[in-house]
Amino acid sequence: MSDTPDIAEHLATRAQRDDVLELGMWTFLSTEVLLFGGLILSYFVYRHADPQAFLAAGRETRIVIGTINTALLLTSSFCVAAALQAAEQGERHATRALLGIAILLGLSFLGLKGLEYVEEYREYLVPGIDFARTGENAHGIELFFIFYFIATLLHGIHVACGIGVLAVFAALATATRASSRYVAGLRTAALYWHFVDLVWIFLFALIYLPGRNS
């Protein structure tokens, strides 16, 4: 048994502890894949049933905001990866600064998403609250926006949780000595953040791109 203070008693080495942390995160992310995978599968089922309505609904989305938000999250992923590298090299102030930038980018993403929701409410595109589309494609368009709001709200919650986690690591970056435990924890947080960004790329392709070339 190791006497090193930053290793739990039931773990023999730092490498074993890091492997356990990473395995735990991958296990958690596998449940998230099932969650978002189920939503995406439902999307394809309904899109296959009414493709014209989904194409028409896709043209109602705000491609500019969606594209900007994609750029924000991709840039934030780069910052988190750079922060992890800085932490591994013991550059605590750089770690904190890079995590701070990633947090600001995440907050900007949520702010733009909120603005987008407001605009969609004003255009009567919120199913169950104020949806006002008529015509033969109305039902399919409503199904599209049901998926849209469920998927993006769930994703937004994950982004908010990720921002909270990154904020904790940003605060700890200079408040504590650089340690292998901190780096291992930040590595698992980075995995989560990259997963959230990857989910958004799929959502962007499904929500904003259909119907743009037709």
33 within a domain of the structure (yes/no): no
46 within a domain of the structure (yes/no): yes
- Nearest residue to 66 via CA among 13, 12, 113, 135: 113
25 within a domain of the structure (yes/no): no
End-to-end CA distance of the chain: 65
pLDDT band at 214 (very low <50, low <70, confident <90, very high): low
- Nearest residue to 144 via CA among 56, 36, 32: 56
- CATH value at residue 71: 1.20.120.80
pLDDT for the residue numbered 133: 79
27 within a domain of the structure (yes/no): no
pLDDT for the residue numbered 137: 85
- This prediction has a pTM of 0.86
pLDDT in tens, 80-128: 999 999 998 989 999 999 999 999 999 999 999 999 999 999 989 889 8
- Which is higher by pLDDT, 137 or 160? 160
- Give the pLDDT mean for 38-53: 92
126 within a domain of the structure (yes/no): yes
Backbone angles phi, psi at 62, to 5 degrees: -100, 95
Residue 155, domain extent: 40-207
Q: How far apart are CA 202 and CA 207, in angstroms?
A: 9
181 within a domain of the structure (yes/no): yes
DSSP per position, 61-128: S-HHHHHHHHHHHHHHHHHHHHHHHHHHTT-HHHHHHHHHHHHHHHHHHHHHHHHHHHHHHHTTEETT
How many domains would you assign to the chain?
1
Burial bucket for residue 167 (CB in 10 Å: 0-12, 13-18, 19+): middle
